[in-house]
A and B are shown apart, each in its own frame.
Chain A
Amino acid sequence: MPFELMSGSQAAAVAVQRAGIDLVVAYPITPQTAIVETLANFDARGELGGDFVSVESEYAALACCYGAAAAGARVFTATASHGLAYMHEMIHWCSGARVPIVMANVNRTIGAPWCLDPDQGDSLSQRDTGWLQIYCSGAQEVLDTIIQAFLLSEELLLPCMVVFDGFYISHTYEAVDVPEEDKARAFVGKPSFKAQVRPGSPANMHGLTTGDNQIHLIRERHDAMQRAPGLLKSINSRFMETFERGYDVIDSVIAPGVKTVIMAAGATAETVRWSLPGLNNTGLIQLRMFRPFPCEDLRSVIEAHGVEKVIVIDRNCSTGMGGIFAQELRSAIYEMENPPAVQDIILAGGIDLTYEMLKKIIEQEKTEGHLEQTWGVDLR
């Protein structure tokens, strides 16, 4: 099938249908609703290829996914913002229980007050829950990443959150190369992970244990997650052979001699990418995988290019500390021999990043020297 015009949310839904799914669990929340609506439309046309259920809350949605995945089924749900926060207990539980789940989270600010703009604080506040997190910068990338995420999640027995910005991606239409159903299903294959609930086979799954046992389980989960960058690379190279496009855990655009790069995740990375020609001598690192944090990939690209400064676009803010991507990067480069300086641009509240703001950031460097932290509103 050739290119189709679709939104990021529609692309997410199409990916799920193309990959082949046993159960979609649906609950609406802006700006995610179009994902589950599109999947409901597949169901209405008899094209979903699996079960579809509308439940009474996001908490129920993830709990239902947990039960079905424990029975060996391939499951998908989508949420955003308050919905993700409401799931929090189940988010921890699902990774502790080592069930594969793919969930789309469409970034939206968490209140109070109510706000719909795409602050990344919803997904980033689930950083330490044991979920894989991958951030996407456009509809095509959303589609391709969700297809890959099923394989990643089922191989590692870790749930995977595919994250993208509300409105800038979820509601923006672009031409998307949609894989043919047969080709996509052959690529993903049937779910082959072992069911935890096997009738006839007694097992006491996830009952009370001690800290002495728990530390081994947490370590196993940590080790499994450390395998994710390598595994995603190999899934991606097979994806490239089949579909002739692909994505690494980070994607860098750094011309020879460039010493200043902008690091961004999600839609802002795309803004930076298209602005590069006007930002002389500036490069881009698009951060795709956030959990696990791709420390090695980042350090080697920084070292290879002798990067001296990284300007981090954080559409989020950990109150009392600053942008979360910047903190993570600082931590990753701390032990480097010549770590680059890090400037943190905070776009909390999900405010937009414009070409003019990027120009101003680069000019500021020349006039004011290195700044550790800049609030996006001061760049307008």
Chain B
Amino acid sequence: MIKNLKKQNVWFVFTPYLWLVLFFFVPLALIFKISISVSEWGMPPYRDLFSLSENGLKINSTLGNYLFIFSDPFYIRSYLNSLSLAFTSTVLCLLIGYPIAFYVAKSKPSIRNILLIMLIIPFWSSFLLRVYAWKVLLQGSGIINSILIHIGLISEPISMLHNHYAVILGVVYTYLPFMILPLYGYLVKFDLNMIDASNDLGAKPLNTFVKVILPLSLPGIVAGSMLVFIPVVGEYIIPEMLGGSDKLYFGKIIWDEFFVNRDWPIASALAMSGIVILVFPIIIFQLMYAKYNFRNE
């Protein structure tokens, strides 16, 4: 450890420090400021927080934007839709991703490396284009409809696009590598002899899985779930490309408030509430996880 901040180290700390304060912290503080401002016609479309009038300094702050959001079921529903989308797709990614990660990790090293590369390829390729691929597949004239008609399951093309099931499918598809890779990272590390030992001692396969494999891969499950859950809450692209009007999501609402309605204070208040709403599940999750770890030590 370098004990004292010597002169030559000062810029090492302060260059990134200053950058993050200026371009991360100040912008967040700014949307907080705008979220408690009164909206107004003009540029910028909100009133200054402090104004000097003949009566002295006047503070124009308001909680009205927040009250407006939380009294309107439209906004509350969009938050709940986003949270439930994030929860559903995290669970689905886990259910689909776990067996894949498990069997890849259990393969022979020569095959394992090839399979790992095959897992990384979709992870590297463009996110937007992978969502677009589903838009192509799910079209009325798309390949899935053609197959279903060909095997006689349906007689007319069914509309599979523009509903929230298509959104869930798109999210699970694009975020699956984010679940599989951390799971793989933990599963590949643990000793497979433990499974054999547990089996030899007479445990049924299900028992071995619940009592031995699952607890050992828990950190991977937690990491993968966070990597899926957090970005999905704010997801904009997938609902916009595959979704319809049956369910609206938080990301799209912010986008529309800003770009379509040009209501900066409401958009900022939505973003601030989004941070708070997102932070709570994460904290609860981490507390539960910490408690679990504590009990098992």
A in complex with B: no
